[in-house]
Structures are given as structure tokens and as C-alpha cells.
């Protein structure tokens, strides 16, 4: 009788050990996002190094292309909030966000 209880306890422990990786793998990740580096376009003169999250590269290029002057430390472009991450007056790295989508690019004059 005691041997049956020990055997049942070992089987239960084994099944729990098998179930834990399955539960962890199935748990949704809050930071899962589509992130991509964009290839260099032919008409990119002042900007480079575009990467996007939860959006298309073409949309980021269109938004960057709509800038009519060198970006400042903080600016907006068509409803996107943008800020300079590094650099200075003549160029730098910028990041723009709207909701869960974002893009990053380098700019230089």
C-alpha cells in the first residue's frame, strides 16, 4: 500500500514537470512585436539606418521623407511623436512612436 502511494507521488511529480514547460511556452509575451531593419532606398540622401516595429518600412520612409527641415530634439510628423536619442544640431539618431508602432532612423546634414 505504501509503495503504491510513493509510485503515485512520483508519477504526479513527473507529470507536473512535463506540464511546466508547456505552460511557459504557451504564455503570451507582452513584448512580442514585429521588428525589422529596412533596406536602404535609392533616394535616401539625408537619412539612413531605418528600423521599424509593428509597421511597414515604406510607411517609415514616407514619414521621414515628409520632413521639410532637419529634425530638432523633439518634433511631430503627421501625428507621430519623435525625439532625438543621440547626436546634435547637424544629425543624430531619432525615434518616433504612435501607439505600439515605432520607427528609428539616422539623420545627417
**How is the chain split into domains, by residue range?**
35-108
Contact 54, 33 (CB under 8 A): yes
Query: 51 is written with which cell numbers?
Result: 528600423
Tens digit of each residue's pLDDT (9 = 90 or more) over 29-81:
556 778 998 877 655 678 889 999 999 999 999 999 998 888 899 999 999 99
Given pLDDT bands bounded at 50, 70 and 90, which one contains residue 18?
Answer: very low
The rounded radius of gyration (Å) of the Cα atoms in the chain is 25
Measured between alpha carbons, how far is 66 from 69 in angstroms, rounded to an integer?
A: 9
Kindly report the average pLDDT of the chain as a whole number: 79
101 by Cβ neighbours in 10 Å (0-12 / 13-18 / 19+) ranks as: middle
pLDDT score for 27 = 40
pLDDT score for 16 = 45
Q: Has residue 19 got a pLDDT over 60?
A: no
Least confident of 13-22, 36-45, 79-88: 13-22
Amino acid at each position: 500500500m505504501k509503495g503504491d502511494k510513493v509510485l503515485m507521488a512520483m508519477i504526479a511529480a513527473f507529470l507536473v514537470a512535463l506540464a511546466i514547460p508547456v505552460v511557459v511556452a504557451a504564455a503570451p509575451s507582452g513584448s512580442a512585436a514585429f521588428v525589422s531593419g529596412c533596406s536602404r532606398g535609392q533616394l535616401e540622401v539625408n537619412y539612413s539606418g531605418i528600423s521599424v516595429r509593428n509597421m511597414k518600412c515604406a510607411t517609415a520612409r514616407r514619414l521621414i521623407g515628409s520632413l521639410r527641415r532637419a529634425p530638432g530634439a523633439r518634433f511631430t510628423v503627421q501625428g507621430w511623436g519623435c525625439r532625438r536619442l543621440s547626436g546634435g544640431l547637424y544629425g543624430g539618431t531619432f525615434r518616433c512612436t504612435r501607439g505600439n508602432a515605432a520607427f528609428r532612423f539616422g539623420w545627417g546634414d
